[in-house]
Amino acid sequence: MAVDLGVQLGSLSLRNPIIAASGCYGYGLEYAEIADPGDLGGFITKSISPERWEGNPPPRLAEAGNGLINSIGLANMGVGEFLAEVAPKLQAVGTRVIVSVACKVMEEYERVVERLEEAEGIDGYELNISCPNVKEGGMAFSRNPRVTEELVRRVRARTSRWVTAKLTPNVASVAEGAKAAEAGGADAVSLINTLVGMAVDYRTRRPKVATVTGGYSGPPIKPVALAKVWEAAGVVKIPVIGIGGITSWEDVLEFMIVGASAVQVGTALFADPRLPGVLTGGLAGYLESEGIGSIREIIGTLDTGGAFQVGVPR
């Protein structure tokens, strides 16, 4: 039986639901040398800013509790160099290309997206409004639903390309942020970005990343991410893209069952750049063994058994 892994994120169709997450797949060209991008439904570039950013001082990475703390601080080449050096080569990568944009103030998002509109081969944008390890902007944008809505609205006015807003989990409720992104005209919402985390060396009494706190990612954040995706999927009509701690095809199914239409894989790519092919193989095998023709049949099928849900505003 041939199974269909294709998913639809509003106007954007993907050959399968696996997307490489921003910051964990370079600019898309580097990984193409070691793993087949054809295994991916799409990839998201490292977040691009108006000019080159050097990021935070080292150390910027620390392992912690089976996960990773990073304080990269959105180091990137800036939109000018991206347009000159990377964008012309993106069409040849052979999968959907989504460019992540991160800025310090709202107007800059408009300007960067306007410039990116010049380039062909870009299928959409992910607005990173949720980075926890930068001083200005970052997760402050998506912590405020009014700002989220306004920012998405402004970008929406500048492009007819597909747009998703990437939300922070570092809030009491992601429902408000998701609704705000939808109201602003986003085609989808992506969640979660990293949790604020901290690692300490008890011998030196020093924090393990130079910024003291950083963004926590990897397997330990999966339960938090599932809860946030479930919460968001219950309040918006636009597709939700689930992110957080995915390492196996079973994880992908869990995210889709709670309501994600696609997922992103981040930290796990550092350990195994070929993981996307393993995930799609596993998903196809499962669907086939269960006699399920399309992965779309899985989306939003959580059976709560009518359970009383504590503290989930739906």
Which of the residues are catalytic?
131
Stretch that binds ligand FMN, among 82-90, 213-221, 274-282, 287-295 (CB under 6 A): 213-221
Q: CA–CA separation, 101 vs 271, rounded Å?
A: 25
Residue whose CB is less far from ligand FMN, 257 or 292:
257
Q: Which of 47, 56, 95, 280 binds ligand FMN (CB under 6 A)?
A: 47
Binding mask 258-297 for ligand FMN (x = CB under 6 A): -------xxxx-----------------------------
Residue whose CB is less far from ligand FMN, 173 or 248:
248
Q: Which of 7, 24, 103, 181 binds ligand FMN (CB under 6 A)?
A: 24
Q: Find all residues with CB under 8 Å of 175, minimum gap 6, and list them.
A: 231, 232, 234, 235, 313, 314
Stretch that binds ligand FMN, among 68-76, 153-161, 168-176, 227-235 (CB under 6 A): 68-76
Stretch that binds ligand FMN, among 33-41, 114-122, 217-225, 285-293 (CB under 6 A): 217-225
CB of 111 to ligand FMN, least distance (A): 18
**What number of other Cβ atoms are within 10 A of residue 311's Cβ?**
8
Answer yes or no whether residue 193 interacts with ligand FMN by CB under 6 A.
yes
| Residue 153: burial class (beta carbons within 10 Å; 0-12, 13-18, 19+) | middle
Residue whose CB is less far from ligand FMN, 148 or 194:
194
Q: Which of 218, 234, 242, 276 binds ligand FMN (CB under 6 A)?
A: 218
Q: Find all residues with CB under 8 Å of 7, minimum gap 6, and list them.
A: 13, 14, 16, 17, 41, 261, 262, 295, 296, 299
Whether 200 contacts 69, CB under 8 Å? no
Please state whether the peptide bond connecting residue 59 to the residue before it is cis, i.e. omega within 30 degrees of 0.
yes
Would you say the C-alpha torsion 262, 268, 270, 271 has a positive or negative sign? negative
Q: Which of 41, 94, 98, 44 is nearest to 295 (CA)?
A: 41
Which amino acid is it at 45? Answer: T
Q: Which of 72, 103, 199, 229 binds ligand FMN (CB under 6 A)?
A: 72
Q: Which residues bind ligand FMN (CB under 6 A)?
A: 21-24, 46-47, 68, 70, 72, 74, 100, 128, 166, 193-194, 217-218, 221, 243-246, 265-268
